[in-house]
Amino acid sequence: MIQDKALHTTLCGIDMQTPVLTASGTFGFGEEFADFVDLSRLGGVMVKGTTLLPRRGNDGVRITETPQGMMNCIGLENPGVDVFLKETLPRIEKYKMNVIVNISGSAVEDYGELAAMLDVPGVAAIELNVSCPNVKDGGIVFGTDPKMAAAVTEAAKKRTSKPVILKLSPNVSDIKVMAKAGEDAGADAISLINTLMGMEINIETRKPTLGNITGGLSGPCVRPVAVRMVWEAHNTVKIPIIGMGGISNWRDAVEFFLAGASAVAVGTANFVDPSVTMKICDGLNFYLKTHKIKSIRDIVGKVDIG
């Protein structure tokens, strides 16, 4: 195992060899990347989004490449929490990685139930995906309403002893309001950003490329937006932030730390280079050594805005 002393950190009480994680939906359950990545070197693996019941996902085209990024409308395809607990979790425990389970629901109560079911050994934390519609309240997206995001956070916190991470949507007018609502509701950390909503049209067929018409935009094109939101959230809340959105190399990661992230998560870049997280860890070590910085924690939020 590579020793990353300067990168060692803790987040919400979770011991992490490095502050480099993988974003949910881009890394499967971790085991798929075992041939390319030392999974124990990662700060954590945010596994594929999990729901109470199995989901088959959306019909039609689910992924399309865009300039400097990609769009997806997978539709939360997953085998359901029962299969995850009975089959997947026992299988991936051998990799000695921090497993952070991303959960989604269509009602506030779903998040509480999932959090309770996942309050088991082998699960390091819960990440709440609030970029989902609340079917009991006319389809409003949890992550666009601070009261709804707070309700989801409270429901999960009441049912689990694990750290609860609130994953915020960028599709709001003021990320500071959302971040504060999550903190006040008891979130232990915030991860941001989730994908931006986008659309692509085939000019020959005049039809949307994606089967779901719209999809989540990710990749390098969203990074400046993500860095700005991390900076705004860092200056609003006291809980730690996991920054994500377009991180493709160690330089991108350093930007997020300087903006205020205590850890970073890599998403779309995993599709381009399955070993990119290891290269980012190596690059961060190089940066700290070059600048004679003893710990990654020493650069968190240290952007100089004059």
| Residues assigned a catalytic role | 132
The rounded distance, in Å, linking the Cα atoms of 91 and 205 is 45
- One-letter amino acid of 193: I
Q: How far apart are CA 46 and CA 24, in angstroms?
A: 5
| Phi, psi (rounded to 5 degrees) for 105 | -150, 170
Q: How long, in residues, is the chain? A: 306
Q: Which candidate, 280, 296, 279, places its Cα nearest to that of 288?
A: 296
Beta strands in the chain, from DSSP E residues, in sequence order = 9-11, 14-16, 20-22, 44-50, 63-66, 69-72, 99-103, 125-129, 133-134, 140-141, 164-167, 189-192, 196-199, 201-202, 207-208, 214-218, 241-244, 263-266
List C-alpha distances in Å: 122 to 12, 162, 222.
Answer: 16, 11, 33
Q: DSSP assignment of 128-164, as one string? A: EE--SEEGGGTTEEGGG-HHHHHHHHHHHHTT-SS-E
The tokens for 246 are 């377009």
Contact call for residues 253 and 276 (beta carbons, < 8 A): no
Q: Which helix (H) or strand (E) holds 115?
A: helix 108-117
Which amino acid is located at 59 in the chain?
Answer: D
Per-residue b or e along 125-143, where b marks 16 or more CB atoms closer than 10 Å to that residue's CB: bbbbbbbbebeeeeeebbb
What whole-number distance in Å separates Cα of residue 257 and Cα of residue 302?
A: 8
